[in-house]
Amino acid sequence: MLVTEYWPSPERWFGGPLVRVPGIPGRHRADWLFGARGLPMEGEGIASDGRVYHFAGPYDLGWANRSGAATAPCAAPGFWTNGRPFKLRRPRFARYGPGHARTLTYWKSAAVDPHLIAFGSRIFMRQLCATPARGWVVARDTGGAIRGAHIDLYRPPPFRPGGGDALRNESMLVVPPGTRPRTTPHC
């Protein structure tokens, strides 16, 4: 299992031109609104004024790499068909909204592939014992790059942009909704 991290994208990390879009008052950084490190990839972000906004779709706009060629996530976690995404392919169709798209809690929520792990499942990983989750997270989100044996842990944004941590080949216990494990692990 691959475990990665994600967070709401802070507008303060971006320096693109200020533009207006429907659904968000004021002007905001274009690369925050349309880029692969901004709202469309992370799902939500924190504007310079401290308010939270989310990407409301449509989710089939597709991605372009740095040279403008189409790219899409592969079945293998972390890989793309034509290089890493850089921006939305059709940004003029993007929609945004105020607030959170889903109820997520830092260090206690995770994005999963719902074909593999059901939403609402509780997941235990000993490697998360030092976090506020104390080993347990809940499957509450999904994402275009979350496919197969890959979960993405929701956490507060770091002070500076970065790739976040990744854990590979980790074992975990998945407890589907409405079930109980035979023995409950603890940190």
* pLDDT at residue 102, as a whole number: 79
* pLDDT at residue 138, as a whole number: 96
The tens place of each residue's pLDDT in the chain, 187 residues long, gives: 888 888 999 999 999 999 999 989 999 999 999 999 899 988 889 999 999 999 999 988 999 999 999 999 887 767 899 999 999 999 999 999 998 877 899 999 999 999 999 999 999 999 889 989 899 999 999 877 788 888 999 999 988 877 666 777 778 999 999 999 998 898 9
How far lies 114's CA from each of 9, 29, 177, in Å? Answer: 23, 32, 13
Contact 87/39 with Cβ under 8 angstroms? no
What distance in Å separates the CA atoms of residue 50 and residue 158, rounded to the nearest whole number?
A: 15
Report the b/e string of 148-160 with b at 16+ CB within 10 A: ebbbbbbbebeee
* pLDDT at residue 77, as a whole number: 65
How far lies 88's CA from each of 43, 56, 58, 64, 117, in Å? Answer: 13, 13, 11, 6, 28
What's the pTM value of the predicted model, to 2 decimals? 0.78
DSSP SS3 for 51: coil
